[in-house]
């Protein structure tokens, strides 16, 4: 037999007895969760449950969980649990703890162990089922379908995580651990009931203007790349390892991983260089679903074309096509549905209805150009900077009664504004130049004093007197540039360091504020501060009280009602400037629940989980 403490082949009773006493003392200690005090923590993964430091199932000899390695001490073969994350999941630990029988003199015999393992596997998969949603185009509804599936699986009591290997987005957010991920993955994590973290979106590209993007790896700024460098160096040399290690870990710690593709998987000019679609599908052996938006017409052409441009092996991974966004009264699609299957061999699994009035963040700026949010008479104009980022900041504002958020490109569009916001940007210097050239800067200055003007992040930097970028960190712009001079503040870009942190604090009147900072550059201010942050009492933001000009680095600043009320109260003549106190978080959760209910109704989730999705 195998010696359970050493792993080597060894029949000595003495060694086994030692293991048995470890198991008993561990049961007496009870459920302990993460033992962060332990010198070895985290020996498997962050947030691991340490209750079963010694595994009662050892050695399970299950190649899905562990492997034989050569012992450094004896040179013999040892069963290693290093890669096993299963027994350290909270839910698995919990179930096993309840199942544990009395531990005898010699520990648990082989039969008991294998019975226990079988029962445990009945409740928790050792390796996650992987389901991937790909889109025939951008805007096919992938992101929300992934969120819907995550929520539906979570509601079935499964442990779920979303995954997107590579995302290009300017709407990012900062997790509790200071990691930066796309806001949409944060939403999916929320849908899944799992902690948002870099692992869920290990490569995030943030376009900086021109052909350069900042590459964020596992939540941390990694480097700047041009498109050319990204595809010729980063993709072949670095991306595979990054994607594999994060995906593998998620698959070992969840029952289901719902993966999102990026754009279309059939960009045939990028064959072999796309690490966001079929590459991941094959790696995860995922059951794939192709989402097609029916709203623009040509949906069946996109479905058929996408599948037929993939190779045979790739096409076989597809369990079905999802026709998305069907409007009521959209007519019968009968003939078209058959045609898809006849040509591609892949059935249309469902026609999913458009879910109206969802309160969820939008993903990219393409959508932004087509929307004005809210239906009120109080107009809040957000300046539509060319490199606008984090415009999800304004979702909560548009939910206020009587408020309409518009995205203004021209000085004329600022005319009717009752309040102006200069939002975040991926490139402060370039967008400040645009603000001056387009006449927006003087239009904003002309309204100062009459309407409140708020700058957020890059917008805050622009409202100040000056910006120094002596190292050219914002690209090839000037090294020193005049701001709008509406706030007595000066910004320096003096290092590549990026501040990414979640913050909590309060307004002068005590109202709660919550947000996150994502920026390079630091701002020296002489104005009154806007917020006092906890726990360190740091003062944040600038407030020129008489001129009604405000600036802050906090994204998500409108999410809690206090600052919304404070900002809107500065608008004169605002009809009943009452704050409807809508709870942003609750609205989002209820939208996710509605989406989950929609997929439950239209998709056979049981057969999807079994992997025989081919049953319409």
Partner 1 sequence: MATFRRLMIQGVTSGAGKTTLTAALCRHFSSSGVDVVPFKAQNVSLNSYVTKDGKEMAISQAYQAWACGLEPSADMNPILIKPKGNGQCQIVLRGKPWQDLGPGGSTPATIETLREQVLTAFHNNASGRELVLIEGMGSPVEMNLKDKDVSNMWLAKATRSPVVLVGDIEKGGVFAGIYGTYLLMDEEERDLLKGFVINRFRGDGSILKEGIEELESRMEMPCLGVLPMVRFSAPAEDSLDLTRPSGNGAGSGDIRQRWMRELDGVLEKWEGAWDLEQVRRLID
Token pair, residue 307, equals: 């599948």
Q: State in angstroms the smallest separation of the CB of 145 from partner 1.
A: 16
Chain residues binding partner 1 by CB under 8 A are 135-139, 211, 227, 263-264, 266-271, 296-298, 300-306, 308-309, 329, 331-336, 339, 343, 366, 369-370, 409-413
Supply angle C-alpha 55, 61, 67, rounded to 5. Answer: 95
Tell me, rounded to whole angstroms, the distance of Cα 13 from its chain centroid. 51
- Given a contact cutoff of 8 angstroms between Cβ atoms, the answer to whether 301 and 323 are in contact is no
Helix (H, G, I), strand (E, B) or coil at 63: coil
CA 292 to each of CA 301, 340, 350: distance values in angstroms, whole numbers, following the listed order: 10, 12, 11
Query: Nearer to partner 1 by C-beta: 281 or 303?
Result: 303
Q: State in angstroms the smallest separation of the CB of 32 from partner 1.
A: 48
Query: Nearer to partner 1 by C-beta: 351 or 560?
Result: 351
Query: Nearer to partner 1 by C-beta: 205 or 251?
Result: 205
Q: State in angstroms the smallest separation of the CB of 212 from partner 1.
A: 13
Token pair, residue 75, equals: 């040179």
Q: State in angstroms the smallest separation of the CB of 408 from partner 1.
A: 10
Token pair, residue 4, equals: 């359970």
Burial 92-125 (b: 16+ CB within 10 A, else e): bbebbbeebeebeeebbeeebbeebbeebeeebb
Q: State in angstroms the smallest separation of the CB of 313 from partner 1.
A: 18
Query: Nearer to partner 1 by C-beta: 192 or 346?
Result: 346
Q: State in angstroms the smallest separation of the CB of 421 from partner 1.
A: 20
Query: Nearer to partner 1 by C-beta: 122 or 331?
Result: 331
CA 534 to each of CA 266, 410, 567: distance values in angstroms, whole numbers, following the listed order: 48, 39, 21
Active site residues: 457, 555
Query: Nearer to partner 1 by C-beta: 279 or 300?
Result: 300
Phi then psi for residue 390, to 5 deg, are 55, 45
CA 283 to each of CA 234, 236, 243, 311: distance values in angstroms, whole numbers, following the listed order: 18, 15, 9, 16
Q: State in angstroms the smallest separation of the CB of 23 from partner 1.
A: 55
- Given a contact cutoff of 8 angstroms between Cβ atoms, the answer to whether 33 and 90 are in contact is yes
The kind and range of the H/E element at 43 are none
Query: Nearer to partner 1 by C-beta: 410 or 495?
Result: 410
Query: Nearer to partner 1 by C-beta: 136 or 513?
Result: 136
Query: Nearer to partner 1 by C-beta: 128 or 290?
Result: 290
Query: Nearer to partner 1 by C-beta: 69 or 366?
Result: 366
Q: State in angstroms the smallest separation of the CB of 384 from partner 1.
A: 11
Task: Report the candidate in 589, 603, 129 with the shortest Cα–Cα distance to residue 324.
Answer: 603
Tell me, rounded to whole angstroms, the distance of Cα 60 from its chain centroid. 35
Place of tokens 């200055």: 445
- Given a contact cutoff of 8 angstroms between Cβ atoms, the answer to whether 541 and 515 are in contact is no
Which residues on neighbouring strands pair with residue 131, listed in sequence order?
258, 287
Pairwise CA distance, residues 314 & 285, whole Å: 10
Token pair, residue 360, equals: 């969820």
Pairwise CA distance, residues 497 & 471, whole Å: 13
Would you list the DSSP string of 394-426?
GHHHHTSTTEEEEEE-SHHHHTT-SEEEE-EES
Query: Nearer to partner 1 by C-beta: 344 or 491?
Result: 344
Token pair, residue 381, equals: 């104009």
Q: State in angstroms the smallest separation of the CB of 436 from partner 1.
A: 17
Q: State in angstroms the smallest separation of the CB of 45 from partner 1.
A: 35
Question: Helices in 327-475 by DSSP H: which ranges?
Answer: 334-344, 365-368, 395-398, 411-414, 428-437, 440-447, 458-463
Pairwise CA distance, residues 539 & 459, whole Å: 18
CA atoms in the 13 A half-sphere facing the CB of 205: 23
Helix (H, G, I), strand (E, B) or coil at 474: coil
Q: State in angstroms the smallest separation of the CB of 404 from partner 1.
A: 16
Supply angle C-alpha 488, 493, 494, rounded to 5. Answer: 125
CA dihedral defined by 152, 156, 161, 166, rounded to 10 degrees? -30
Burial 409-426 (b: 16+ CB within 10 A, else e): eeeebbeebbbbbbbbbb
């Amino acid at each position: 037999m195998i010696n359970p403490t050493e792993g080597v082949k060894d029949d000595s009773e003495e060694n086994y007895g030692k293991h048995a006493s470890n198991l008993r003392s561990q049961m007496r200690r009870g459920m302990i969760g993460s033992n962060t005090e332990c010198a070895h923590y985290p020996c498997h993964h962050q947030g691991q449950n340490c209750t079963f430091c010694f595994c009662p199932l050892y050695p399970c000899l299950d190649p899905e969980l562990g492997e034989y390695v050569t012992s450094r001490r004896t040179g013999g073969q040892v069963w290693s649990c290093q890669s096993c994350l299963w027994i350290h999941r909270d839910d698995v630990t919990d179930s096993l703890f309840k199942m544990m029988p009395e531990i005898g003199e010699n520990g648990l015999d082989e039969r008991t162990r294998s019975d226990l393992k079988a029962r445990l596997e009945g409740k928790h998969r050792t390796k996650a089922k992987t389901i991937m949603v790909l889109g025939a185009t951008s805007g096919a509804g992938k992101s929300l379908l992934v969120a819907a599936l995550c929520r539906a699986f979570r509601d079935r009591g499964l442990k779920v995580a979303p995954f997107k290997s590579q995302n290009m987005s300017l709407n990012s957010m900062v997790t509790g651990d200071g990691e930066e991920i796309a806001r949409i993955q944060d939403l999916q994590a929320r849908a899944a009931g799992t902690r948002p973290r870099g692992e869920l979106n290990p490569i995030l590209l943030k376009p900086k203007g021109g052909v350069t993007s900042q590459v964020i790896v596992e939540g941390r700024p990694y480097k700047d790349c041009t498109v050319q460098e990204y595809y010729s160096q980063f993709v072949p040399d670095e991306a595979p390892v990054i994607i594999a290690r994060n995906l593998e870990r998620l698959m070992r710690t969840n029952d289901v991983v719902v993966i999102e593709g990026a754009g279309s998987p059939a960009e045939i000019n990028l064959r072999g260089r796309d690490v966001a679609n079929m590459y991941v599908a094959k790696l995860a052996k995922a059951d794939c679903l192709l989402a097609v938006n029916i709203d623009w017409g040509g949906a069946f052409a996109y479905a058929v074309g996408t599948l037929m441009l993939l190779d045979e092996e790739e096409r076989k991974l597809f369990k079905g096509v999802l026709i998305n966004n069907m409007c009521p009264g959209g007519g019968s699609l009968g003939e078209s549905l058959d045609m898809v299957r006849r040509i591609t061999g892949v059935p249309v699994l469902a026609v999913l209805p458009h879910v109206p009035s969802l309160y969820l963040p939008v993903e990219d700026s393409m959508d932004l150009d087509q929307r004005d949010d809210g239906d009120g008479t109080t107009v809040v104009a957000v300046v539509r900077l060319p490199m606008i980022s984090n415009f999800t900041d304004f979702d909560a504002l548009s939910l206020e009664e009587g408020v309409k958020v518009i995205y203004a490109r021209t000085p004329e569009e600022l005319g009717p504004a009752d309040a102006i916001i200069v939002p975040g940007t991926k490139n402060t210097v370039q967008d400040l130049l645009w603000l001056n050239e387009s006449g927006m800067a003087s239009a904003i200055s002309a309204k100062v004093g009459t309407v409140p003007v708020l700058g957020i992040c890059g917008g805050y930097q622009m409202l100040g007197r000056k910006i120094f970028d002596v190292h050219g960190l914002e690209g090839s712009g000037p090294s020193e540039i005049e701001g709008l001079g509406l706030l007595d503040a000066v910004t320096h870009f003096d290092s590549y360091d990026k501040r990414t942190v979640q913050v909590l604090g309060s307004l002068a009147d005590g109202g709660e504020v919550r947000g996150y900072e994502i920026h390079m550059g630091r701002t020296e201010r002489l104005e009154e501060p806007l917020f006092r942050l906890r726990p360190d009492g740091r003062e944040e933001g600038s407030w020129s009280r008489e001129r009604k000009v405000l600036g802050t680095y906090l994204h998500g600043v409108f999410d809690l009602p206090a600052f919304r009320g404070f900002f809107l109260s500065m608008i004169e003549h605002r009809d009943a400037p009452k704050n409807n106190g809508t709870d942003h978080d609750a609205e989002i959760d209820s939208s996710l629940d509605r989406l989950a209910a929609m997929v439950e109704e239209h998709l056979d989730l049981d057969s999807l989980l079994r992997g025989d999705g081919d049953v319409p």
